[in-house]
């Protein structure tokens, strides 16, 4: 990084992208390139080495890689005082605690935003589902994705299930009643904090989720569909523009939309 690069606080935000040749990373590179207030200074994928981002003076890194590598990437950013916007999945409670620990020991002002879903509709779908949770005895989540997705259930479905379980617990409700004996293991989906989650993988899909609630005589379905990865870009760019004003760890896009 040159002195000239360091001395441009009012200039465009200098952005690095990790996972730049992936489906999401490539879209993020295009979106950053097209934004007047952002400058794409590093586009890094597997095998490139991360140091190019520091050498180019990245102030914010956007990570869309894999659950296997994202923790090392984040540690690398935090150690160098680079803020990060993370869409990569795989964040358990234990992982989030580790990130918080790194941030407590980092230079002040480093922000990390980890969002299971950057789609505005998806954020609202999770909020609506959380609001509905206490009114319905039954709840099931059906997530549907493209068949090249590496993980199941999706980060969004896992996060939604946890939010619903917390809302039910706060209302004094336990898991949804279910008398079914599985004749084939997995027939009833995964159990996340007492909420059943079903993962569909199909050609022709991008990212979709339904939350199905049921009570006596009625059901409520809350559904969100991302038909194109551009749907995630307004949320990602909002994160890039905001993350340095939010030192520490922010989980989810909700706080940035208020």
Ligand X SMILES: O=C(O)C1=N[C@H](C(=O)O)C[C@H](O)C1
> Is 22 or 52 the residue whose CB approaches ligand X more closely?
22
Residues composing the chain: 258
The contact set with ligand NAI (CB under 6 A) reads 18-19, 21-25, 44-46, 64-66, 69, 87-89, 115-118, 155, 232
Tell me, yes or no, if 208 is annotated catalytic. Answer: no
* Kind plus residue range of the DSSP H or E element containing 63: strand 60-63
Minimum CB separation of residue 138 from ligand X in Å reads: 23
Active-site position among 145, 159, 198, 208: 145
Q: Among all chains, which residue has been given the structure tokens 């918080």?
A: 100
Is 204 annotated to bind a ligand? Reply is no
Name every residue whose Cβ is closer than 8 Å to that of residue 6 and which is 6 or more positions away in sequence.
57
Q: Which of 112, 7, 113 is nearest to 57 (CA)?
A: 7
Minimum CB separation of residue 75 from ligand X in Å reads: 22
Is 21 annotated to bind a ligand? Reply is yes
Q: How far is residue 144's CA from residue 198's CA, in Å, rounded to a whole number?
A: 8
Q: Which of 50, 29, 60, 28 is nearest to 242 (CA)?
A: 60
Residue nearest to ligand NAI (CB): 22
Binding partner selected for residue 145 from ligand X, ligand NAI, none, CB under the kind-specific 5 to 8 Å limit: ligand X
Active-site position among 131, 149, 159, 181: 149
> Is 27 or 59 the residue whose CB approaches ligand X more closely?
27
Q: Which of 108, 42, 118 is nearest to 73 (CA)?
A: 42
Q: Collapsing DSSP states into helix, strand and coil, what is residue 133?
A: helix
Tell me, yes or no, if 159 is annotated catalytic. Answer: no
Binding partner selected for residue 111 from ligand NAI, ligand X, none, CB under the kind-specific 5 to 8 Å limit: none
Catalytic residue set? 145, 149
Q: Which residues are annotated as a binding site for (S)-2,3,4,5-tetrahydrodipicolinate?
A: 146, 155-156
């Amino acid at each position: 990084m040159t002195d000239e690069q360091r001395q441009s606080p009012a200039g465009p935000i200098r952005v690095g992208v990790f996972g730049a040749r992936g489906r999401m990373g490539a879209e993020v590179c295009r979106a950053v390139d097209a934004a007047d207030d952002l400058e794409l200074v590093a586009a890094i994928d597997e095998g490139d080495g991360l140091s190019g981002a520091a050498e180019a003076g990245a102030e914010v890194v956007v990570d869309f890689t894999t659950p296997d590598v994202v923790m090392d990437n984040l540690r690398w950013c935090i150690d160098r005082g680079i803020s990060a916007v993370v869409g990569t999945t795989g964040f358990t409670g234990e992982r989030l605690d580790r990130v918080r620990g790194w941030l407590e020991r980092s230079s002040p002002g480093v922000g990390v935003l980890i969002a299971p879903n950057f789609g505005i509709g998806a954020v609202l779908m999770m909020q609506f589902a959380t609001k509905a949770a206490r009114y319905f005895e039954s709840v099931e989540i059906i997530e549907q994705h493209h068949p090249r997705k590496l993980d199941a259930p999706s980060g969004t479905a896992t996060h939604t299930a946890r939010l619903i379980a917390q809302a039910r617990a706060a209302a004094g409700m336990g898991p949804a009643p279910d008398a079914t004996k599985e004749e084939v293991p997995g027939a009833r989906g995964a159990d996340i904090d007492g909420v059943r989650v079903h993962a569909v993988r199909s050609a022709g899909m991008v990212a979709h989720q339904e939350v199905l609630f049921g009570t006596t005589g009625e059901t409520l379905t809350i559904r969100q569909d991302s038909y194109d990865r551009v749907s995630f870009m307004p949320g990602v760019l909002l994160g890039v523009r905001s993350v340095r004003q939010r030192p520490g760890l922010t989980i989810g896009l909700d706080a940035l939309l208020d």
